[in-house]
Chain A
């Protein structure tokens, strides 16, 4: 059975008309020879028959064969034989997804993970490594890569400590059914995890740092003062209100900052515009960090409790947040605080401190072996560097040599005839 991986190339068969027309037209350019036995030479048949019989049929056939072989080669043929299938089934194309959640795993842990990944790579025909903190995103990338793998069975190996929430049954929907899945748990999670958060400026007029500890009972946070610290520059956030409310709006900003603000990008600037504030109309948001901040504002609990719906837009490289309340209203500090939190998000990662793991029973249920390659699978878009098109290219080259030889010999005969005719 032959599979054509690029059947669109068959359209090039239209090129066969070229030599056909050329050979048909060549009949009309017959040269004249003087021949004493001319009265014994049978004349050509009727014009209609002549048109159906192109000049130098043998040469035409060779030329058509060259073009056909080239077109067939370009269509990327693949001979699917029993031998080929067994050879392809003996290969495994493997994607090793390494979970990078918890960057503090240490040198020893990294060596263990790298060793596991390398061991998986050795036994595979081809391997692709994916390092990611989001296993779902890693599975999507694995699926994309496997779609274009060489003819072989496909398998995904996930190396992780499998914190709870990292994966679930639906996570594997992105993988084709014939793709195998295996899990390697590189370590058991500790019963308690502690991490130190980034310092916060401005709370109670000082600099503070929190240490968070997660265990089976919950999360415990211990704050430690780092002194008065430097005065935090709050110029990245501007508050605009009606002239009569300007003082109240400034006080609202100070009150919001007194809860502490995490460090962030100084270039990310924002203007909060209360009713009566002088700010020209902006444009829809296109900058990614502004879009993230706008999403956080939309889900903000503070704004929900204050019953304020804000509108976000972009103008002059700054995020513009319009609040339909005056700068002197009671909701003004809540609006400013919500904007601060949206611009300088939380510093604790989602699963960094997770101590609960996905049970082995779940992993065993999700595991599956790679299915054998079948003839019908061959219609997929394999990443093929060695299709059997080479055979057709070789045939085209051989035919090209024959055509060249035929042309040379024809030219020699014509020269001899011309010489004889001239004589």
Chain B
């Protein structure tokens, strides 16, 4: 079932929406994509075709000539911090039916739900030029509900300051954890690179969701326009038909820079378009991760 971003955005209850997205995402997957640092043995059960051979107890097989699968009760203590870009540039829909910010908010909610569902701690940093909202990572349904309510209250506006947001996110994470950045990444200052380098150095696992509208990649006008930057307010006169080639080259270079930057520091880079159904985007990512893809 496809979860249309526009349809989901129309549902006010973010908890319900995020649960719906997560249910749609992990149904059919054999295992959780995220693993904590420890797992406690629970019991044996007979091997059934399809079980992961990693959990087969081979010593017991040698003794009894029967296949048993070990089962664990996960006692993970993974801490996840979501850094949500709430700057003015995110308040753009292009030719999509939802803005990038709405999409990013739904994505953040779904991610929080996904992490919380497996008993891990999740927190939120919503930022623009300053920190708009922040919640430290904690587990439990009550915290998740609070996080989703906070997400729902957050509005887009102001300039992007990704470096400050990353610094604050790492402050909030007392130990190594998972950092999820959801942004359009229109901030390429040196400080951002330093923050990313630092996050990788500390040993955080960083996932960067690069949220874009298709219109941003293709340049959606063909005639003379005064283009206004929503964050700086700067206005330039341009002609779409004339500028399209140079623009596409520039935006491609920008996307490539971010991809290679993330690869350099061992960060996971996921590009999502607001026109893509949310569950499809999330499922593709989770499946890739579960299969040990890019990480």
Mark A residues whose CB is within 8 Å of B.
26-27, 29-45, 53, 55-58, 410, 413-414, 416-417, 420, 423
Mark B residues whose CB is within 8 Å of A.
88-90, 92-95, 99-100, 184, 186, 215-216, 219-232, 234-239, 241-243, 246-247, 250-251, 254
Contact A30 B95, beta carbon cutoff 8 Å: no
Q: Give chain B residues whose Cβ lies under 8 Å from the Cβ of A33.
A: 221, 225-228
Q: Give chain B residues whose Cβ lies under 8 Å from the Cβ of A39.
A: 186, 229, 232, 234
Contact A44 B242, beta carbon cutoff 8 Å: yes
Q: Give chain A residues whose Cβ lies under 8 Å from the Cβ of B94.
A: 420
Contact A417 B238, beta carbon cutoff 8 Å: no
Contact A56 B222, beta carbon cutoff 8 Å: yes
A43 vs B224: C-alpha distance in the bound complex, in angstroms? Answer: 10
Contact B222 A38, beta carbon cutoff 8 Å: no
Q: Give chain B residues whose Cβ lies under 8 Å from the Cβ of A416.
A: 95, 220
A410 vs B223: C-alpha distance in the bound complex, in angstroms? Answer: 9
The verdict on A36 contacting B241 (CB below 8 Å), with A42-B247, A44-B224 known, is no
* Chain B residue nearest to A37 in the complex (CB): B216
Contact B224 A55, beta carbon cutoff 8 Å: yes
The verdict on A44 contacting B247 (CB below 8 Å), with A32-B228, A33-B221 known, is no
The verdict on A36 contacting B238 (CB below 8 Å), with A42-B243, A410-B223, A420-B215 known, is no
CB < 8 Å neighbour of A42 from B93, B222, B234, B238: B238
* Chain A residue nearest to B235 in the complex (CB): A32
Contact A55 B223, beta carbon cutoff 8 Å: yes
Ordered by A's residue number, 7 sampled pairs between the chains whose C-beta atoms are within 8 Å are A30-B226, A37-B216, A37-B254, A39-B229, A41-B219, A43-B236, A420-B93
Instruction: Determine which residue in B227, B230, B236 has the highest number of CB atoms from chain A within 10 A of its CB, and name it.
Output: B227
A33 vs B90: C-alpha distance in the bound complex, in angstroms? Answer: 15
* Chain A residue nearest to B251 in the complex (CB): A40
A53 vs B238: C-alpha distance in the bound complex, in angstroms? Answer: 12
Contact A34 B225, beta carbon cutoff 8 Å: no
Q: A219 to nearest B CB, angstroms? A: 94
A45 vs B215: C-alpha distance in the bound complex, in angstroms? Answer: 23
A53 vs B240: C-alpha distance in the bound complex, in angstroms? Answer: 13
Contact A417 B216, beta carbon cutoff 8 Å: no
Contact A417 B221, beta carbon cutoff 8 Å: yes
Complex A-B, nearest 6 residue pairs according to Cβ-Cβ distance, in ascending order: A36-B89, A423-B93, A30-B224, A38-B229, A40-B250, A32-B226
A134 vs B90: C-alpha distance in the bound complex, in angstroms? Answer: 96
Q: Give chain B residues whose Cβ lies under 8 Å from the Cβ of A57.
A: 241
A182 vs B255: C-alpha distance in the bound complex, in angstroms? Answer: 89
Q: B176 to nearest A CB, angstroms? A: 33
Q: Give chain B residues whose Cβ lies under 8 Å from the Cβ of A34.
A: 92, 228, 230
* Chain B residue nearest to A38 in the complex (CB): B229
Q: B240 to nearest A CB, angstroms? A: 9
Q: Give chain B residues whose Cβ lies under 8 Å from the Cβ of A37.
A: 186, 216, 247, 251, 254
Q: B10 to nearest A CB, angstroms? A: 15
Instruction: Determine which residue in A26, A33, A40, A410 has the highest number of CB atoms from chain B within 10 A of its CB, and name it.
Output: A40
